[in-house]
Amino acid sequence: MSDPQLPPEILDYTIDLLHDEPETLKQCCLVSKSWVPRTRIHLFADIEFHSASDLESWKKTFPDVTNSPARHTHTLFVGCSQSVVAADAEEGGWIRAFSEVKRLNLDNGDQYLKFSVASLIPFHGFSPALKSLRISPIFIPFPEVFDLIFSFPLLEDLALKGHDESWLGDDPDGPQAIVPSTSPAFTGSLDFHIFGGAGSAARQLLDLPNGLHFRKLALSCDRVQDIWWITEFLTRCSHTLESLDIHTLRRTSICTWSALIT
Amino acid sequence: MFPVELESASFDLSKATKLRDTVFRLGSLRVEWINVALKTITPDHRDLRQISIYLPSFLTSFRVGVDIRRSIGQATSRGWSDLDHLLVQFWESCSVRPRIGCEKEGEQYRRSTEYCIGSLLPEITKRGIVDPV
């Protein structure tokens, strides 16, 4: 069915109202070919690749990278970065088809041991519009993680969860990523849950030339040595801070807190 | 040694005057660091609406009826008394009702959590100015 009398802006408006009703949107695609482009904008806004089979299914459905609906994706979840990187290598820049992504969640769950440095490189700057980045869990050296972070100039929100595998402990003078001359804006939220020594990772953020302007801070610490960077984050963001969430885990023992406060 | 570390351990919120809500999640029963942070909040924090405190989940293993104050020792207990007093002040000065609870969810934990709150923070409990998280 086609309705040539319906003004396109009315059609667009109507479909936009259905943005959070995927089943209805799928039905809309069957109504008329002219309805498909607008529905695609919403149907492919949020894409999740949990496994290699999800990825294969996408590639089979959309073999032509340049004409795939990847450009409509605003929120991308990748739970199988190794497979995505392999696809990217095979097809010469497959990840860059997702060039309008605003929120990226790299979560490797129990596959974290396969989450290597190489699995981050193809993601570098793949979407210049990226505003929110979540990486979890991190079991790779922080300089490489921050190379990725710094490749997104418009980044506002950052969430890092994991364990310091750079073996730098709390050495803030250890190897660092190359800090860009203009750092991301960082005006949103910081979720920082790094265990086993977060000093070097914290230093990377604290040394940014444009400073930190987070409105929300959610910080976890499991060692008394973490106190310095929590204090620093609070100080640096004090002029913008609206929401604070501090989580002390049990390894920051009763004795250590007691010793510091008494 | 300790005074220098104490200085760096104090979470100073005095300049964070746009603060709207704060959440403290405890890994142990020592609350002095929360008290230190709360004491840096001033009348300039006009937007402050919420103070939430999550008790350590192991607290739910206390049986209802156990004398928690005695179990945790005098120094720790004193910290909770100070916190109780501070939360009353926040209620009186800027109508901030504290939200207190435990990360663990479920009916079986609700009673023990309420009991712990009543034991550790008797004044805010008595006045009915505490909400569950």
pLDDT (tens digit per residue) in B18-68 = 999 999 999 888 898 999 999 999 999 999 999 999 998 888 777 788 888
Q: Quick one: pLDDT at residue B104? A: 79
Test mutation, B17, B28, B52, chain A, max A CBs within 10 A = B28
User: From the list B5, B16, B30, which residue is nearest A234 (CB)?
Assistant: B16
| pLDDT exceeds cutoff 90 at B100 | yes
C-beta of residue A36 within 8 angstroms of C-beta of residue A46? no
- For residue A137, say if its preceding peptide bond is cis, omega within 30 degrees of 0: yes
pLDDT digits (tens, 9 = 90+) for A58-111: 999 998 888 899 999 999 999 888 888 888 888 888 899 999 999 999 987 655
DSSP string, A96-141: GG-TT-SEEEEE-GGGGGG--GGGTGGGTTS-TT--EEEEEEE-S-
User: From the list A218, A248, A262, which residue is nearest B2 (CB)?
Assistant: A262
Q: Which residues contact A55 (CB under 8 A, 6 or more apart)?
A: A49, A80, A83, A84, A87
Q: What is the ipTM of this complex?
A: 0.89
User: For residue A237, what is the nearest residue in chain B, using CA coordinates?
Assistant: B16
Sort out which chain B residues have CB atoms less than 8 A from A241's CB and list them.
Answer: 16, 18-19
B2 touches chain A (CB under 8 A): yes
| pLDDT exceeds cutoff 50 at A262 | no
pLDDT digits (tens, 9 = 90+) for A100-156: 999 999 987 655 555 566 678 889 999 999 999 999 876 666 778 888 999 999 999
B26/A248 Cβ within 8 A: yes
Which pTM does this prediction carry? 0.86
Beta partners for residue B50, in sequence order: B21
- Measured CA to CA in angstroms, residue A70 lies from A19, A99, A158, B108 at distances of 17, 8, 23, 47
Share of chain B above pLDDT 70, in %: 93
Strand positions, DSSP E, chain B: 21-25, 50-55, 99-102, 131-132
User: From the list A241, A244, A260, which residue is nearest B9 (CB)?
Assistant: A260
> How many Å apart are CA A237 and CA A257, to the nearest integer?
24
The domain tally of chain B equals 1
pLDDT digits (tens, 9 = 90+) for A216-251: 999 998 777 788 889 999 999 999 999 999 998 765
Domain range for B29:
4-132
Share of chain A above pLDDT 70, in %: 82
What is the number of other CB atoms lying within 10 angstroms of the CB of residue B58?
Answer: 13
